[in-house]
Amino acid sequence: MEWLERTDTWLLSGALVALLGIGSSLLARRFGAPLLLVFLGLGVALGPEGLGFAIAPGVVYAIGALALAIILFDGGLQTRLAPLRAAIAPALWLATAGVAGTALLTAFAAMWLLDLSFAEGLLLGAVLASTDAAAVFFLLRSAGIALPKRVNGVLEIESGSNDPAAVFLTLTLCTWLALGGLGGESVDAEGGSGALVLRLALALGLGLGFGVLGGRLIALGLNRLALPEGLHPLFALAGAVAVFAATNQLGGSGFLAVYVAGLMLGQGKVRAIANVTTVMIAATWLAQGGMFLLLGLLVVPSRLLDVLGPALALAAVLMLLARPLVVAACLAPFGFAKREIGFIGWVGLRGAVGIFLATLPMLMGLPNAEVYFNVAFVVVVVSLLVQGWTLKPAARLFRVALPRRETATRRIELDLPGQLDYEIVGYRVGPTSAVLSKNAELPGWARAAMVVRDETILLPNEAGPPRAGDTAYFLAPPGEVYRLDWLFAEGQEAREAELEAFGAFSLPGDVPLGELAGFYGLPIPPRYAAHTAADMFAARFEGEVQIGDRIGLGGATLVVRRVRHGRANEIGMVFHTDSLGRLQRGALHLRERLRDPLAGFRRSR
């Protein structure tokens, strides 16, 4: 019976840790702490110098590989390539040449700070070279800021696709050192540098090919097989793990393959994709939390003090020198603005991948293996604390944060059997929801399906205008549903959308900026005078204009009130308090000179 009691103890411990992690996630969102550090701290508290739990590095590596595969699959699944095509080439360049360059620069610093040989420094550089998909995906999506789609695309695609290069470099250097390649000596046991390049090309090629094939097979299975309800997410998850393992078995990069499989699945029309995405979000949360927890179990805090100083210095070199220089060199040919390069260079978040790769030298019994692991642990903690907590300020400092209010609307998603072009989404109408405003208007592609009011189902023609307490359901294309979120936002956000966003004037989107600026005395650059407000919004938001988007124009702010065919069809105008008197005087002066000062572009609210 002892084994039964021990099993119950482990199950109870695991459940309590999961519940503690879920509770900690609420605190992390409340205070802005990177959630991944919570799990890492839990692991350290449970580890050798905490409650005394121990785990073998081999077990951590195996579970970590599975967790990373799940995280990468979900990252690919939630990435939409259509609006990010301009980001693919620079992101892939960063994911390959950028990883190698970061490893090389970090190696020189590690040699000096830790008294390592070039080969050992290069191994530590490879361990720390890649940005972490779990950290980047989580922090970008929880930061509450909107980024230009090319900047956001580079960060997400790079973090999802740079792991294969880091894994390959780490494995190659571990093998090299295990065979005696110390202090820069050449070891030709693997056929020389030409063979290494060939192996890298083969691994990437097989990873890409099997990822495309695997993603299409998973999509085909979801669409063709009459699976019982609830099994679609499990089918997708099992297929992803199969793609990962099979690609590794055949000599390819399983990490690249599973990410590409997620990309392929996310781009097409797939049955039950809403359920698959929802379950994958939960699976990813569990995977990244579990991976950080297990990695924390390997840490011996007292031994971190031996490398704390050099590790902190190496973290500074990586964040302030190596990553920014490599990003600048890699992105310069692609026409990125300096502020965009600066922001991408700063958001080089390190996470579980670095600690995970640092277990490889431990598994192979290499000299200084514990140094690699402890340094990687310190660097990751510093990166998550410093870069994770400064994500919002950095976006504002580099002027890449779009002036867009993110909604926290809860959306109900339902799949339609046999239907891939539409899904049903539902929203609860709150007392202060923006949809109750007289300015609110449903997009043309959203079809009202039904309204649940007082426990009664009503058809749209029976329900009439929405009321507080209703639950409204709509038919909408899967890729457009997020554009409905703002209508059902509540509280301060809804009041701001009503009182501030729509302003005192309503203007058509094709109003010329020069005419508008001249009438109200707004100081704008002459190059904007020939453009319309719709043109300005399309350029600023890269063709993805949403209701509520804002652009400053001299002493006023233009706000999108209605969108048609992806362009601002109607805008509101909000005058700044400090310039309102001047603008009003200018308007009165022009009224004396013009018979119809608002002709052609002003409509009453």
Q: Residue 582 in contact with residue 516, Cβ under 8 Å?
A: no
pLDDT tops 70 at residue 234: yes
Query: What local confidence, expressed as pLDDT, does residue 193 receive?
Result: 53
Name the pLDDT band for 597 (thresholds 50, 70, 90).
very low
Predicted confidence (pLDDT) per residue in 413-451, tens digit: 565 555 556 777 888 888 877 677 665 667 777 788 888
The residue with greater pLDDT, 163 or 125, is: 125
Instruction: Give me the pLDDT at residue 32, please.
Output: 47
pLDDT band with cut points at 50, 70 and 90 for residue 328: very high
Which is more confidently placed, 525 or 228?
228
460-480, pLDDT tens digit by residue?
Answer: 888 888 888 888 888 877 656
By the 10 Å C-beta count (0-12 exposed, 13-18 middle, 19+ buried), 10 is classed as exposed
Q: Which residues contact 220 (CB under 8 A, 6 or more apart)?
A: none
Mean pLDDT throughout 13-34?
Answer: 60
Q: How far apart are the first and last CA of the chain?
A: 77
Output the average pLDDT for the chain.
75
Sheet holding 471-476, edge to edge: 412-414, 423-428, 471-476, 447-453, 456-458
Mean local confidence (pLDDT), 350-364: 82
| Res. 322 pLDDT band, cuts 50 70 90 | very high
3-state secondary structure (DSSP) of residue 456: strand
Q: What is the DSSP letter of 603?
A: B
Radius of gyration of the chain (CA): 27
User: What is the separation of C-alpha 399 from the centre of its chain, rounded to a whole number of angstroms?
Assistant: 18
**Range among 17-31, 86-100, 233-247, 500-514 with highest mean pLDDT value:** 233-247
pLDDT of residue 318: 92
What's residue 576's pLDDT?
57
Position 414 scores a pLDDT of 60
pLDDT band at 504 (very low <50, low <70, confident <90, very high): low
Q: What is the pLDDT of residue 327?
A: 93
Tokens of 261: 């499989």
Query: By CB neighbour count within 10 A (0-12 exposed, 13-18 middle, 19+ buried), where does 446 fall?
Result: middle
Contact 347, 340 (CB under 8 A): no
Lowest mean pLDDT among 122-126, 310-314, 324-328, 517-521: 517-521
| Predicted pLDDT at 113 | 92
Q: 317: pLDDT confidence band, cut at 50, 70 and 90?
A: very high
Tell me what pLDDT residue 147 has: 77
Helix ranges restricted to H, 179-322: 192-224, 232-249, 254-267, 273-297, 301-304, 308-317
Residues 6+ apart with CB under 8 A from 396: none
- Encoding tokens for residue 310? 């050099």
What tokens does 270 get?
């797939």
Res 18: pLDDT: 67
Q: What is the pLDDT averaged over residues 350-366?
A: 82
The least confident of 34-38, 287-291, 299-303 is 34-38
Give the best-scoring range by mean pLDDT among 9-18, 112-121, 278-287, 556-565.
112-121
Strands 556-564 and 550-553, by their bridges, are: antiparallel
Query: Percentage of the chain surpassing pLDDT 90?
Result: 11
Spatial CB neighbours of 455, under 8 Å, sequence gap ≥ 6 = none
Confidence (pLDDT) at 238 = 92
If we measure between CA atoms, which residue out of 538, 530, 518 comes closest to residue 594?
A: 518
Question: Which pLDDT tens digit goes with each residue over 105-116?
Answer: 999 999 999 988
**pLDDT at residue number 243:** 93
pLDDT 10s digits, 163-188: 777 887 888 888 878 776 544 444 44
**Is residue 232's pLDDT more than 70?**
yes
Query: Cβ atoms within 10 A of the Cβ of 22, count?
Result: 11
Q: What's the pLDDT score for residue 426?
A: 83
- Name the percent of the chain lying above pLDDT 70: 71
Better pLDDT: 71 or 490: 71
Confidence at residue 110, expressed as pLDDT on a 0 to 100 scale: 92
pLDDT at residue 400 greater than cutoff 90: no
pLDDT band at 134; cut points 50, 70, 90:
low
Of 35 and 215, the structure prediction assigns the larger pLDDT to 215
DSSP 73-87: HHHHHT--SGGGHHH
